[in-house]
Amino acid sequence: MSKPHDNLVALGTGSTKYNYDTPDFAVLEKFPSPFNSAAKKGVLDIRGHLDIVCPEFTSLCPVTGQPDFATIKIHYIPDDWCVESKSLKLYLMGFRNHGEFHESCVQQICSDLVVLLAPFLISVTGEFTPRGGIPFWPTATWRKKSKTQVPK
């Protein structure tokens, strides 16, 4: 009998391949949401939510090449799927040497998680350290309009 986590590749493997140059959607993995499975069994209609804080996010300024540092905060209400944490860490590490503006990084993270998870709601905020005395904290949010809405 297979278990919901049998298809996870990054978690528990003997070796991990690290990519610091390009965020790679293919490394993201998911597993069935425990919140949704309880609701489907008719036990309780519980809609849990998850808050993930990634305090060591880095990317590069696409103009100067200087490093940008941020805390990435992800808040989502899963439908059928949850993101596997090690795969998320590997995905976020792909931004380390990737040149992109703060807003674009946050938008890409949100978009990729929407495609992966099709959650009821997701919000991704990047709390970037000040550059030139001005902190930027962009937020990207997506909300499912109906049960049948498929992310693009």
Residues marked as catalytic: 61, 68
CB count within 10 Å of CB 113 equals 26
Count the neighbouring beta carbons within 10 Å of the beta carbon of residue 18. 9
Q: Is 7 helix (H, G, I), strand (E, B) or coil?
A: coil
What's the sign of the alpha-carbon dihedral 3, 6, 7, 11? positive
